[in-house]
Structure 1
Amino acid sequence: MKQDYYEILGVDKSASAAEIKKAYRKKAIKYHPDKNPGDKEAEESFKKAAEAYEVLSDPDKKARYDQYGHAAFDGAGGFGGGNMNMEDIFSQFGDIFGGAFGGGFGGFGGFGGGGQRRVKGSNLRIRIKLTLEEIANGVEKKIKVRRKVQAPGVTYKTCSTCNGHGQVTRVTNTILGRMQTATTCTTCGGAGQVMDKRPADADAQGLRIEEETVPIKIPAGVVDGMQLKVTGKGNEAPGNGISGDLLVAIEEEEHSTLKREGDNLHYDLYVSYPEAVLGTSKEIDAVTGKVRIKLEAGIQSGKILRLRGKGIPSINGYGKGDLLVHVNVWTPKNLNKEQRDFFERMQHEDNFIPKPERGDKSFFEKVKDMFS
């Protein structure tokens, strides 16, 4: 089981954005690769801290994590908010270290030898509509995505400004002596190389748009508004950069008869007065197909029948929700003379006078049970 993000950073859930940032910087400096060369455990702790900060520093991601835990980001088929590599970490959070490590980062985090910086391509965002049946069972979707990729024939050469180092070093004479500073090369953006040849169909970065079919495995139990990530299927970056990610937002389509409440489903079943009096069996909708249920004679309107395990699987792996069938006795509005005469004769009969039993729960008790 993955470690809690708040525990990794050593903060409470009520911590402010500033406290979270401060805690991350403290952890990141402690486990920084430059400070712990060759220490795999320190490197792993460094990555965990960056992964936690990536989620907790983003208000939207933090809200989803607080509600669903790691399941909000971890899914099948390459999804997840974690498993960050060094390029991801330094390309996103490199500035948080300030001057603690000079600027070269020892060749880590998107910086190659001599301080070269690996650029990350931009992310792409798509929205996928899912039926309740697809959400209940999990599904694989094949989506056509238009993404930027390296155009064939593009070549690069060493940047003449920084000589391939990605940084420009300047020496300044001061009253305290000669001071040396290193800044990112503005010509190549820190990549250490610039484009040499560019085909006609490529843009200024040597990229062109191509359509690609991306298979996306969506785990059962996702909820409306949840965002999943397919690593490396966003836009590519120029040169030796890293591809961005494909962010998949889930949109749940409304079902014709079933209403979702968390992992539980609700179904309104209408029965006629004779069916309620005599008892009957009914076939109703469930996400796994049709289900037949038996209604006992004399069933009361407002009765809730619970079909256990017929709801939505928990995305956290805690089993399945239930299908709650709400029985509604349909009272006829228009009667012919014969029907009216029958009910007029019956209205004072002992069997037709309401006599609630001890086991017949009130409306408020039923609501309480439904949410318990």
Structure 2
Amino acid sequence: MADKRDYYEVLGVGKSATDADIKKAYRKLAKQYHPDMNPGDESAEHKFKEATEAYEVLSDSSKRSKYDQFGHAAFSNGGGGGAGGFDFSDVGDIFGDIFGDFFGGGGGRRRNANAPTKGASLKTSVTLNFKEAVFGVEKEIDMVISETCEECSGTGAKKGTTPETCPHCKGSGQVRYNQQTMFGNITSVKTCNNCGGTGKVIKDKCTSCRGTGYVRKRKKIAVDIPAGIDNGQSIRLSGKGEPGTNGGPRGDLLVTVYVKPHEFFERQGVDIYYTLPISFAQAALGAELEVPTLDGNVKYEIKDGTQTHTRFRLKGKGVPHIRNSKIRGDQYVTVVVDVPKKLNEKQKELLKEFSATFGEQVKDFKDGKKKKWYDKVMDAFD
């Protein structure tokens, strides 16, 4: 049989390693080579046993001292180590500290079933019009939420009685049991099924809440919507969700905001976009116009010769930043020349005269009406 490897070499630590260093090194190796994670792999199983043997010795100050002085010979008579002499009966304590989750609980890392636990979060939504989202608003929403039962004051027990200590777990909310495995006897901890981990049992339940300690009630909750919120964003209201257990805090309420589109304005981030129709004369000669904004109409001078799709900016007329409402985006206005679809005779003649000054050709009209098909044919032979 091959000689045993040095225990420090097995764990990959130096002889000056602290207890914490040894535990950390073993935890890493044990998780890597555990047989349940490597089924059928004899090499992994051997490394797991080797690491566990090394940890069992080096984690015990007395055994470690003997090992440092005499090496493997300190346990040659079966005194806690050596080939075929390793006792796996202590492995449960080792796993209780390191693999509590793997074996269903145990050790110092497990969560106390009676510890205060935060309540569940609730979700709802609210619909705003465009300006409400831009400038902020307070909304009131209806929610059905759990509240402390007034009949039993939240104990869950019938009036005049009190919950009793669970006889199975003695009030701890957890039960320990031993499990025989290929590595020895392992102690595990699980939530007590008799009391559900509360440590208390209720013999006579409150008729109002049926022993839960809470009743469902419809409640109105005020929601302060900040200026600048956008479609699809959510607001978190701390402590407005479901109640916690064992004195834990209430959960949160998440309110998702949906914004109705505006008839004329379009939002992109903190900027607003608007299309302004103007006449040909206004585009050609220029004009001072009233431009709609979220704050009301503002005057803006259109320069002569303005082309369609020209864009100008109204600084600070956009959406407030949600984190600082004093800072606002801008409004971008796109000018579109609106061509009239119906003109009277005088307007047509004036436009023909105007067009003639540029040498342009336009449709000819006769007696205020479009030429008939026969007239068009005859014109073609002139």
Please report how far the alpha carbon of residue 198 of structure 1 lies from its aligned counterpart in structure 2 after TM superposition.
3.9
Displacement after TM superposition at 1:250 (Å): 1.2
Q: Could you tell me which amino acid in structure 1 is paired with residue 264 of structure 2?
A: T
Kept after mapping to 1: 8 A contact 2:115/2:246:
no
Partners in 1 of 2:298 and 2:230 — Cα distance? 24
C-alpha displacement at 1:106, in angstroms?
6.7
Q: Give the deviation of 1:103 after TM superposition.
A: 4.9
CA distance in 1 between partners of 2:192 and 2:147 (Å): 24
Matched-pair contact (CA < 8 Å) for 1:263–1:320 = yes
How far apart, CA to CA, are the structure 1 residues paired with 2:331 and 2:100?
52
Q: Pick the aligned partner of 1:259 from 251, 261, 266.
A: 266
Write the deviation string for residues 182-209 of structure 1: whole angstroms up to 9, x where unpaired. Answer: 1112233323234455433324523211
1:284 equivalent in alignment to 2:291: yes
Q: Is 1:243 the equivalent of 2:271? A: no
SS, match of residue 133 in structure 2: helix
* 8 Å contact kept, 2:116–2:245: no
Report the counterpart of residue 147 of structure 2 in structure 1.
149
User: Cα deviation per residue 1:43-77 (whole Å; 9 max; x = unaligned)?
Assistant: xxxxxxxxxxxxxxxxxxxxxxxxxxxxxxxxxxx
Mark the CA change 1:217 to 1:166 in structure 2 (over 3 Å): closer, same or farther. same
- For structure 2, the 5+ residue unaligned runs are 1-23, 28-98, 156-162, 362-382
Between structure 1 and structure 2, the one with the greater Rg is: 2
2:319 partner amino acid: I
State how 1:138-217 maps to structure 2 within 5 Å: 138-152=136-150, 153=152, 154-155=154-155, 156-172=163-179, 178-195=185-202, 197-203=204-210, 205-217=212-224
Alpha-carbon separation, structure 1, partners of 2:210 and 2:307: 70
The answer for the alignment partner of 1:348 in structure 2 is 356
Aligned to 1:98: 101
**CA RMSD of the aligned region, Å?**
3.4
Structure 1 residue corresponding to 2:229, chosen from 222, 225, 229: 222
Q: Report the number of matched residues.
A: 256
Which of 313, 334, 352 does residue 306 from structure 1 map onto?
313
Superposition deviation, residue 332 in structure 1: 0.7
1:132 aligned residue: 130
Asked if the contact 1:234–1:246 (Cα under 8 Å) also holds between the matched residues in 2, the reply is: yes
- Call closer, same or farther: CA 1:332–1:210 in 2, change over 3 Å: same
2:120: which partner in 1?
Answer: 122
Matched residue SS, 1:347: helix
Does structure 1 conserve the Cα–Cα contact (< 8 Å) formed by 2:287 and 2:302? yes
CA contact (8 A) 1:133 1:288 kept: no
Which deviates more, 196-205 or 271-280? Answer: 196-205
Residue 285 (structure 1) shift? 2.9
| Pairing 1:320–2:318 present | no
User: In 2, distance between residues paired with 1:335 and 1:174?
Assistant: 97
CA distance in 2, matches of 1:290, 1:188: 68
Cα 1:143–1:351 change in 2 (3 A) is farther
> Does the CA-based 8 Å contact 1:147-1:235 persist in structure 2?
yes
Shift of 1:339: 0.9
Query: 1:324 offset after TM fit, Å?
Result: 0.5
**Which residue identity does 2:255 align to in structure 1?**
V
Residue 149 of structure 1: CA displacement? 1.4
* Partners of 2:284 and 2:243 in 1: CA distance: 67
Distance in 2 (alpha carbons) for counterparts of 1:269 and 1:103: 71
- Cα distance in 1 between the residues matched to 2:181 and 2:346: 110
For the residue of structure 2 that corresponds to 1:141, the secondary structure is: strand
Provide TM-score, normalisation by structure 1. Answer: 0.59
> Offset of 1:241 from its aligned partner?
4.3
Superposed CA offset, 1:141-177 (max 9, x none): 2323221112121424433321221211113466866
Question: Structure 1 CA distance, aligned partners of 2:247 and 2:202?
Answer: 11
1:51-70 alignment runs, 5 A limit: none
Matches of residues 11-22 of structure 1 in structure 2 within 5 Å?
none
Judged with a 3 Å threshold, the aligned counterparts in structure 2 of structure 1 residues 197 and 347 are, in CA distance, closer, same or farther, namely farther
Q: 1:137 to 1:97 in 2, by over 3 A?
A: farther
Displacement after TM superposition at 1:345 (Å): 1.1
* CA shift digits 1:318-337 (9 cap, x unpaired): 94221011111111111111
* CA contact 2:118–2:249 (8 Å) conserved in 1: yes
Q: Is the 8 A contact 1:268 1:328 kept in 2?
A: yes
Report deviation, 1:351: 10
TM-score normalised by L of structure 2:
0.58
